[in-house]
Amino acid sequence: MEAQYLALVMFIVLLLGVFTGFPLAFVLLGTGMIFGLAGWGTAVFDQMASRTFGIMANDALVAVPLFIFMGYMMERSGIADGLFGALQEALGRLKGSLAITTVLLGTILAATTGVVGASVTMLGLITLPPMLKRNYDIPLATGTILAGGTLGILIPPSVMLILYGPMAGLSIARLFAAAVMPGLLLAGLYIAYIAVRCYLKPELGPALPKAQRTMTTAQLLAKLATSLVPPLVLILAVLGSIFFGLAAPTEAAAMGGFGAAILCAAYGKFNWPNLKDVVFLTLKASSMILILTVGANVFTGVFLALGGGGVIESFLLASALPPWGILALVMVIVFILGMFLDWIAILLILIPVLSPIIKSLGFDPLWFALLVCVNLQTSYLTPPFAYSIFYLKGVAPKGVEVSHIYRGVIPFVILQLIGLTLCILFPQIITWLPKVIYG
């Protein structure tokens, strides 16, 4: 069998392996090793060792466990509870105020955690019971939590962007800068949708009764100062040091982890049990991501060496589609794969193959990178393999069914696709901030 056909069979075997439910990292490693042996013999073991060492020696990936540690430490600090109460009081007179507050809280958490599972779980525990108690529409409430919680995969410091940069040869700092406006755009779309829908149908999200808005202006400002200012200072310190070249992403991540620990101590939650749990959760999440990275790196190395990249490039370029048509086809493929595969697998398998093709078509690689990342946010919300849905169902009170959650995410998936379309039609949404900062 010719090498390029072997590469296509390799991809089909990978998909079959994924659907068996076997751990993805070992499906990637096993498929790469078997087809590497078939393609050029035992030399594949040298390639596997070389690529594994390359991952271990990649300084940028050190930021992954550090940002994850920062996220889990912020979760344990309890700062989200106070922040939710303050924002709820400030916005209480608006219809849908609790849902709007949930999106705002999710946006802030996204810039301090970057761990979607932690954000969705935290929002589910903090915001869902009050919304149910206030007789909010259950699909609206659950959809809001999922949309706000998944912003962490896009808004920096995003683990997705940290993994994307080295694969595509892009600066992580530039990726972080490029992701800010798309992330805020999506948050704005969510808030606008909630506000309009609750204005038209107030019973979906009643305003907070005046009798329950008990804080004076001075009390509210003090509450906002103690709950909002500290995380914002941490966000600005971490991201600002990266954007303005004061620190590398790894150094900024270390500073962020240390700052999160200080905040945790300031709120009286820094103790041995919390520290032990945070370290264990960080180790577990980081190990999963880095093992997947090694597996995908081995797989893509063999796939490209067998000519798989050339086959895909020939297929796309021979499709008689113009460059914009090819871009649209790629976006559709990424969206569909997001329903069935983990975003890490999609990223690690497709980006090394697609990046050279997209560059040859004349598209800005930074712009394309953010299109993929915005697209992949939908993977957390689109069944059947929508991890966020199961995160939320695991902490939801009795009476919240999976059917409610499925109905709730549909409008927000549509909003994400609208946001993606706007980023395609108006590239400045992505490219403006990097140009302002870096020229």
Please state, in angstroms and as integers, the Cα–Cα distance from residue 405 to each residue in 266, 302, 340, 393, 400, following that order.
36, 40, 18, 8, 8
Are 373 and 165 a contacting pair, CB within 8 Å?
A: no
Instruction: For residue range 147-202, list pLDDT tens digits in order.
Output: 999 998 899 888 889 889 988 889 999 999 999 999 999 999 999 999 999 999 99
Instruction: For residue range 13-62, list pLDDT tens digits in order.
Output: 887 887 777 777 888 888 888 888 887 778 778 777 887 787 777 777 78
Instruction: For residue range 274-288, list pLDDT tens digits in order.
Output: 999 999 988 988 888
What confidence score (pLDDT) does residue 151 get? 92
Instruction: For residue range 220-236, list pLDDT tens digits in order.
Output: 888 888 888 888 888 88
- Output the average pLDDT for the chain: 86
N-term to C-term CA, the chain:
50
Mean pLDDT over 92-98 rounds to: 89
436 has pLDDT over 90? yes
**Closest to 129 in 3D by CA, of 116, 138, 120:** 138
**Number of other CB atoms surrounding residue 171 within 10 Å:** 16
What confidence score (pLDDT) does residue 340 get? 77
Are 146 and 106 a contacting pair, CB within 8 Å?
A: no
What confidence score (pLDDT) does residue 146 get? 93
Q: Element (H or E) spanning 96, and its range?
A: none
Q: Determine the distance from the C-alpha atom of residue 311 to the mean position of all C-alpha atoms in its chain, rounded to a whole number.
A: 30
